[in-house]
Amino acid sequence: MRSSSVQPIAVLRENDLRRSSPPADENEGFTKVGEWMHDFIRTLYPLCRSITGDGVRRTLELIDERIALDVHEVPSGTRVFDWTVPKEWNIKDAYIKDSSGKRVVDFKRNNLHVVSYSVPVRRWISFAELKEHLFTLPEHPDWIPYRTSYYRESWGFCLSHRQFMALRDDEEYEVCIDSSLEDGHLTYGEHRLAGESDDEVLVSCHICHPSLCNDNLSGIAVAVALAERLRLLKRRYSYRFIFIPGTIGAIAWLAQNVERVHRIKHGLVLTCVGDGGPITYKRSRRGNAEIDRAFAHVLAHAQASSNIVDFTPYGYDERQYCSPGFNLPVGCLMRTPHGRFAEYHTSADDLDFVLPEALADTLTTCLFAFDVIENNRVYVNLNPKCEPQLGRRGLYRAVGGQSERAMEELAILWVLNLADGTHTLLDMAERSGLPFAVLKRAAKLLTEHELLGPLY
């Protein structure tokens, strides 16, 4: 594995992590969870995915083995707002052969070798004509670029620049792309965890990239692990996980769910979450949605460095969920943002580029932020005239150890003071500068002693 400076976010205290992120068994720890996600990425890595086709279906089948999915098929030609679901693309084989019959470029060795959505072709071609259909990265001569041609019928090959330089300009080559582009379906999957409320938290990731690990097998792996762990918790909200092709998948999902998107109270797009860089959170279009504040709070109390960036209408599917006709409270969680790591959309985004400890850190960050959302309630002080006598109730003796006592006592005082029916726990955390988890424990303790009552 490549080295990184990833520091686990579990600095809000290990016992908080256990409460927010229960492992599948008592012996499963931070490292094991990261390794499990990395192994799942390894399983998905060989599949050739695109925005439609059997690679997407097989990917959803493998996800379904871990979390049950409802799979939906949207026919080609279906109008979804200003877009149309395209024809379905599948591929069996592709190559470039020299005059001796040797495969100098072979799709079966790396599925990035073919421009995604290439139309079928099989013929002999001069080098002069062939090179018009070739894509390389001269600045990284051993890497294969990733290219697509979704909405314009075309064909092409991607190869390392070193492979390109070995081609002869005086030779003819046999090119073959054994693909099909026919009426079919766009396929996506959903997994829903019911909670106490029908109000939902949306978690979205794209499943349209072939053998690229950070973008976005990492998002798939973290989403699956997140669903598995949330399943073990008592949930205030319902959670909807959607695994969709990028852009057209989000647009199709929104078009099919217009009547129920009002239930989405918080949302998150997961992408590029496995590299060794610091976590980056991109705010929703609203800029100050509760999920924006939750992630800002969690990251502010982490030891590791992190970045908070404002919304822009460029990036991943958050730009569809945050389009003005919906304006949903959906942010985007990344580590190094797309386009800011050299390996982006190249064969170097491989199994060595994603790190188990980074995957585990991303998962933990999500769980802490969702813990904030789940427990962000408004309370009322039932003894609001002056401070209640805490000593005779044993509250000072009941909290923490000596090293934590001052913070715990301060949290009790902040909660009592701001529990006026207008402040949420997150409001209190932001104003006091204390970790949300500490205020949550204080509120629980005060409620048990009948000094506090939840308003909602």
Q: Is residue 210 domain-shared with residue 274, that is, in the same domain?
A: yes
61 domain-assigned: yes
- In the prediction, which pLDDT does 403 show? 54
Rounded-to-10 torsion of CA 354, 356, 362, 363: 130
The full length of the chain comes to 456
Rounded-to-10 torsion of CA 301, 358, 222, 187: 130
pLDDT tens profile 203-220: 999 999 999 999 999 999
Q: Is residue 371 domain-shared with residue 447, that is, in the same domain?
A: no
9 domain-assigned: no
Domain that holds residue 404: 378-454
Q: Last residue of a domain, which of 375, 392, 408?
A: 375
- In the prediction, which pLDDT does 15 show? 40
pLDDT over threshold 90, residue 19: no
The secondary structure element, H or E, covering residue 424 is strand 420-424
7 domain-assigned: no
Q: Which of 17-21, 299-303, 338-342, 393-397 holds the top average pLDDT?
A: 338-342
* Averaged pLDDT of the chain: 92
Q: Is residue 123 domain-shared with residue 51, that is, in the same domain?
A: no
Helix or strand or coil: residue 427?
Answer: helix
Out of 258-262, 281-285, 389-393, least confident range: 389-393
pLDDT tens profile 154-201: 999 999 999 999 999 999 999 999 999 999 999 999 999 999 999 999
- In the prediction, which pLDDT does 406 show? 82
Q: Is residue 172 domain-shared with residue 215, that is, in the same domain?
A: no
Binding residues: 209, 215, 345
6 domain-assigned: no
Q: Is residue 149 domain-shared with residue 191, that is, in the same domain?
A: no
> Rounded to an integer, what distance in angstroms lies between the CA atom of residue 282 and that of residue 271?
11
Binding residues for Zn(2+): 209, 215, 345
Q: Which of 187, 126, 116 is nearest to 158 (CA)?
A: 116
In angstroms, the first-to-last Cα distance of the chain is: 47
**What CATH number is associated with residue 402?**
1.10.10.10
Q: Is residue 286 domain-shared with residue 196, that is, in the same domain?
A: yes
Q: Which of 6, 13, 11 is nearest to 305 (CA)?
A: 6
- In the prediction, which pLDDT does 28 show? 56
- In the prediction, which pLDDT does 11 show? 34
Helix or strand or coil: residue 203?
Answer: strand
- In the prediction, which pLDDT does 398 show? 52
> What mean pLDDT do residues 81-89 have?
98
**How many domains, in total, are found in the chain?**
3
> Rounded to an integer, what distance in angstroms lies between the CA atom of residue 184 and that of residue 244?
16
> What mean pLDDT do residues 328-356 have?
97
> What mean pLDDT do residues 323-346 have?
97
In this structure, is the dihedral angle defined by the CA atoms of residues 72, 76, 77 and 82, taken in order, positive or negative?
positive
- In the prediction, which pLDDT does 212 show? 98
Q: Last residue of a domain, which of 115, 147, 182?
A: 182
CA 140 to chain centre: 27
Q: Last residue of a domain, which of 150, 182, 214?
A: 182
Q: Is residue 384 domain-shared with residue 343, that is, in the same domain?
A: no
Helix or strand or coil: residue 370?
Answer: helix
Q: Is residue 306 domain-shared with residue 217, that is, in the same domain?
A: yes
Q: Is residue 242 domain-shared with residue 360, that is, in the same domain?
A: yes
pLDDT over threshold 80, residue 23: no
> Rounded to an integer, what distance in angstroms lies between the CA atom of residue 146 and that of residue 117?
12
- In the prediction, which pLDDT does 24 show? 43
Helix or strand or coil: residue 158?
Answer: strand
Helix or strand or coil: residue 14?
Answer: helix
For residue 306 the two structure tokens come to 């992190």
Strands 134-135 and 172-182: unpaired
- In the prediction, which pLDDT does 25 show? 43
448 domain-assigned: yes
- With tokens 């003819």, the residue in question is 172
Out of 79-93, 179-193, 196-210, 402-416, least confident range: 402-416
> What mean pLDDT do residues 37-66 have?
98
- In the prediction, which pLDDT does 1 show? 34
At 30, is the pLDDT very low, low, confident or very high (cuts 50, 70, 90)?
A: confident
For residue 312 the two structure tokens come to 């822009």
Q: Is residue 231 domain-shared with residue 311, that is, in the same domain?
A: yes
413 domain-assigned: yes
> What mean pLDDT do residues 75-79 have?
98
387 domain-assigned: yes
